[in-house]
Amino acid sequence: MLKVNDLKVEVNGKSILKGLTLNIGAGEVHAIMGPNGSGKSTLSHVLSGRDGYEVVGGSIELDGEDMLALSPEARAWKGLFLGFQYPVAIPGLNSSVFMREAVNAQRRSRGESEYDAMDFLSISREKMKLLDMDESFMSRAVNDGFSGGEKKRNEIYQMALLEPRLAILDEIDSGLDIDALKVVSEGINKLRSPERSLIMVTHYQRLLDYVVPDFVHVLSGGKIIRSGGRELALELEESGYGWLEQDMAAAE
Amino acid sequence: MATESQEIDRYISREYEHGFVTEVQQDTFPPGLDEGVVRAISAKKNEPEFMLEYRLKAFEIWQQMEPPEWAHVHYPAIDFNSISYFSAPKADSDKPQSLADVDPEILETYEKLGIPLHERAALAGVAVDAVFDSVSVATTFKDKLAEEGVIFCPLSEAVHDHPELVKQYLGSVVPTADNFYAALNAAVFSDGSFVYIPKGVRCPMELSTYFRINALNTGQFERTLIIADEGSHVSYLEGCTAPMRDENQLHAAVVELVAMKDAQIKYSTVQNWYPGDKEGKGGIYNFVTKRGDCRGARSKISWTQVETGSAITWKYPSVVLTGDDSVGEFYSVALTNNYQQADTGSKMIHIGKNSRSTIISKGISAGKAENAYRGLVKVLPGATGARNYTQCDSLLIGSRCGAHTFPYIEVQEPSAQVEHEATTSRIGEDQLFYCRQRGIAEEEAVSMIVNGFCKDVFTELPMEFAVEVQRLLGVSLEGSVG
């Protein structure tokens, strides 16, 4: 479904991703792990089309369509969702109004009729119930005054409403205590489906105890240096990233 | 992120919609100002002697004053002799006697502006007084209001029909010598609205005035006087537009509000004067003095304004809290774009015991605009238990605009409490990206963020204005849920 081929990205002339290749099939859950500065967040941002990153080589295709040619919103309409590491607050903007516009923008792009306020209310209630969330979320301003845990749960709620083909969750576990992590993980698991693929970008293997991935990739120095199954994450936890990087250095 | 801010600029800037000119025959004085012109204005309106004296005295005072220079705005000196001080649509008879007599072209103008001038606007429940250049052309719902004893008419009529009220209250809140433009207004004011709400009456509908400057090289100097007698309530709306002209036009209005014991006045403004073009050419100079006096105990005056127009705005709606337990409020959104300059804010003068005031100001700057908040909170000795809360937020769009805050606080009463909060933020690339990643296109995202920023003020607007304001700021209406 998602094909990233030999992707090379620079920021202010500095090379960050140096030929990254990644294939993700429908319904698969992939974890991308790596030390700080390895290019994990850059990958999330480039996939979703953020400004400030220059793609100097390679390609990104979602369901056979060239993503690099599309604006961030057009990528969202194609079913690409990014769960932010630091969801930004928009004071005064009601969450429910915000998400109704987001859902309707997507529906318009597909030539579907827009939801009116009542339709949307019942759909959002259903999703909140699924994720065991308090309805007061809807009446608050977008991420304004939210705790770290609330922000991350809100990201998952937004994902539930938008029903993406591909969700990239960028360090969704950062800043969460163990209870919040469990709640957020539970939500993610409820949203797993054979049609939906997931990329979990994380520094720690802890998250993967709760959301068990099909594949694990290690990103280091702008490239994927090792891919494997679930056990790779456990190995990393035991030995750290050091041994892999040394391996790499030896091989070069 | 230079390209990003250019994008934002493009979205925030819209062509001015109300820039059409109406072709009606105008009776306009030649430019220039001297005692003869002041007398001629008074004669034109068949004013009683006391009004002529009032004007002449004001003219004398004005001649000895200098234009103010302390505001954070820049413009070439105004030549007051290049302005015409009176312009009125020329009607067959002296003036329209009823709506049927109003020039159809003028009615069409108001149609274009979306003002419900015809009586069919009964549905909207708004009584409109429309001021076209210098004269009031139509006042709707006069009869219905008269049943309640409410007087709502052009000030030029009030000086004839209710001279005792005009004599008692005109200039009692904004004295002639208050400032340069107030003195000028007192000398040459042409027309405006007059409202009197009798004791204990709750005005049955929103009252509204629409101001329009149509003629070339004319100044508009309207004067509004609203008196709410004991225990009465009134909500008043004011809207303004002007055609696009390359020359700057002067608007120097005075608004006076008087609230007696237990009375409440809510005054809302949507100001959309022509702001000039993208290079800063043309546009209205909006130099306005608006002040309310909470004269009686437990009275309340609330100003709400949304300012998107004018080349230069210089305006500080104020409340003098004379009565004990009186309440003053000021809610403002000021949007400046391109080369617009705004120096606006509020003054709250606490005299009465336990008087309370709130100032919520939201300034939005885009393009190369300069937006300044200037506010004064003054608590006089003896105003025990007085309280003020001021919140002043600025939002910057792009990197070439400016926001400034000049709060002045003078407290001479130890038991008073004064709080001031101020924030400045920029529409961030991260906020925009967040919206866009969720599928909301950039234009809509900017609107939503600006709308969210102004929310505290928008909730204070009467329903009739809420829709217009959202459209003005190019924002879609927030959902009807909840």
Query: Residue A171 has which token pair?
Result: 């360090």
The enclosing H or E element of A72 equals helix A72-77
Per-state percent for chain B, helix, strand, coil, to nearest 5: 25, 35, 40
pLDDT of B149 above 50: yes
Per-residue pLDDT tens digits for B71-92: 777 777 778 887 777 776 554 4
pLDDT of B102 above 80: no
Closest to B232 in 3D by CA, of B190, B273, B202: B202
Split at pLDDT 50, 70, 90, the class of B367 is confident
- What is the ipTM, given to two decimal places? 0.95
Closest to B85 in 3D by CA, of B136, B47, B34: B34
Q: Number of CB pairs < 8 Å for A and B?
A: 102
Distance from the Cα of A240 to chain B's closest Cα (Å) equals 32
pLDDT for residue B475: 30
Distance (Å, rounded) from C-alpha A17 to C-alpha A44?
A: 11
A92 or B358, which is more confident:
B358
Q: Enumerate residues 81 to 100 of chain A having a beta carbon within 8 A of any beta carbon in chain B.
A: 81-82, 84, 86-88, 90-94, 96-100
pLDDT of B129 above 70: no
* Virtual torsion, Cα B132, B136, B140, B143, nearest 10 deg: 180
pLDDT for residue B229: 97
Per-residue pLDDT tens digits for B192-221: 889 999 999 998 877 877 665 555 556 678
Split at pLDDT 50, 70, 90, the class of B125 is very low
pLDDT for residue B241: 55
**Cβ neighbours around A126 below 10 Å, total:** 12
Distance (Å, rounded) from C-alpha A37 to C-alpha A43?
A: 11
Window from B8-22, B63-77, B215-229, B412-426 with minimum mean pLDDT: B8-22
**Could you give the angle at which helices B49-63 and B35-44 cross, rounded to 10 degrees?**
150
Query: Residue A61 has which token pair?
Result: 């295709």
Contact list, A101 vs chain B (CB under 8 Å)? 440, 444, 448, 476
Distance from the Cα of B448 to chain A's closest Cα (Å) equals 7
pLDDT for residue B94: 44
Distance (Å, rounded) from C-alpha B462 to C-alpha B360?
A: 17
Give residue A219's identity as a one-letter amino acid code.
L
Test mutation, A101, A119, A155, A168, chain B, max B CBs within 10 A: A101
Distance (Å, rounded) from C-alpha A156 to C-alpha A169?
A: 9
Distance (Å, rounded) from C-alpha B400 to C-alpha B402?
A: 7
pLDDT for residue A100: 95
pLDDT of B306 above 90: no
Q: How far is Cα of residue B433 from the mean position of the Cα atoms in its chain?
A: 36
Query: Residue B88 has which token pair?
Result: 């009125």
**Residue B46 neighbours by CB under 8 Å, 6+ apart:** B160
Distance between terminal CA atoms of chain B?
A: 37
Contact list, B459 vs chain A (CB under 8 Å)? none
pLDDT of A31 above 80: yes
Distance (Å, rounded) from C-alpha B453 to C-alpha B391?
A: 13
Closest to B357 in 3D by CA, of B381, B380, B329: B329
DSSP code per residue over B2-68: HHHHHHHHHHH----TT-------EEEPPS--SHHHHHHHHHHTT--HHHHHHHHHHHHHHHT----
Q: Enumerate residues 150 to 179 of chain A having a beta carbon within 8 A of any beta carbon in chain B.
A: 158, 162
Does this model's pTM top 0.90? no
pLDDT for residue B122: 37
Question: Quick check: A73 and B441 CB within 8 A?
Answer: yes
Window from A220-224, B235-239, B298-302, B466-470 with minimum mean pLDDT: B466-470
Give residue B446's identity as a one-letter amino acid code.
V
The enclosing H or E element of A87 equals none
Per-residue pLDDT tens digits for B312-351: 888 899 999 999 999 999 999 888 777 777 788 899 999 9
Contact predicate B147/B154, CB 8 Å: no
Contact predicate A99/A124, CB 8 Å: yes
Per-residue pLDDT tens digits for B158-204: 999 999 999 999 999 999 989 999 999 999 888 788 999 999 999 88
Query: Residue A227 has which token pair?
Result: 């891919």
Give residue A15's identity as a one-letter amino acid code.
S
Question: Quick check: B437 and A73 CB within 8 A?
Answer: yes
What is the three-class DSSP state of B460?
A: coil
Contact list, A121 vs chain B (CB under 8 Å)? 481
Residue bearing tokens 């210089």: B314
Window from A228-237, B43-52, B382-391, B394-403 with minimum mean pLDDT: B394-403
Phi-psi region of B378 (alpha: psi -120 to 50; beta: other; left: phi over 0): beta
> CA angle B346-B350-B355, nearest 5°?
105
Contact predicate A18/A219, CB 8 Å: no
Split at pLDDT 50, 70, 90, the class of B154 is confident
**Cβ neighbours around A136 below 10 Å, total:** 9
